[in-house]
């Protein structure tokens, strides 16, 4: 993971996911890496999940390393995130979190999109106990 354009994905951006072909395929500097972060994953029943970075459970997904900053920043558009807007105006917030390999080895810090409290409250959702949203 050689640049700052590494992002942990857990839903429609995972390999095989709905948005993989448009936003990820052919745009990565390396193969996706299986990974996990601490948090809670919720099925919003809208065709995509929402992550809350709280609790001790694991959310599983992949780390994607984008080849260019421009391709990485296209994710902000998809996730309804604009830097500088208030939390209520964004659907997700992009932040840095510690990420781990499935076996538990530290992979370092990566970007992740966490659903804002306002968006989670608006949509509700169901906790995904095993932290793995199906593609």
Q: Does position 2 have pLDDT exceeding 80, yes or no?
A: no
Calpha distance 93→86 (Å, rounded): 10
All structural domains of the chain? 6-127 (3.10.490.10)
Q: Does position 107 have pLDDT exceeding 80, yes or no?
A: yes
Q: How confident is the model at residue 33 (pLDDT cuts 50, 70, 90)?
A: very high
Q: Name the residue with higher pLDDT: 86 or 65.
A: 65
**Is residue 90 classed as helix, strand or coil in its secondary structure?**
coil
Kindly report the pTM of this predicted structure.
Answer: 0.94
Dihedral through CA 67, CA 72, CA 73, CA 75, nearest 10?
150
**Is residue 110 classed as helix, strand or coil in its secondary structure?**
strand
Pairing mode, if any, of strands 6-9 and 126-127? unpaired
Supply the pLDDT for residue 121.
87
Q: Does position 26 have pLDDT exceeding 60, yes or no?
A: yes
């Amino acid at each position: 993971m050689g640049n700052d354009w590494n992002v942990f994905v857990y839903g429609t951006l995972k390999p095989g996911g709905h948005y993989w072909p448009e936003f990820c395929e052919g745009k990565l500097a390396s193969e996706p890496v299986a990974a996990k972060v601490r948090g809670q994953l919720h099925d919003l029943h809208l065709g995509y999940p929402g992550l809350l970075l709280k609790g001790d459970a694991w959310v599983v997904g992949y780390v994607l390393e984008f080849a260019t900053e421009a391709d990485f920043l296209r994710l902000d558009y998809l996730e309804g995130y604009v830097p500088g807007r208030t939390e209520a105006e964004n659907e997700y917030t992009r932040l840095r979190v510690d990420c781990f390999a499935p076996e538990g080895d530290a992979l370092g810090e990566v970007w992740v999109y966490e659903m804002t409290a306002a968006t989670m409250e608006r949509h509700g959702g169901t906790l995904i106990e095993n932290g793995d949203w199906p593609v």
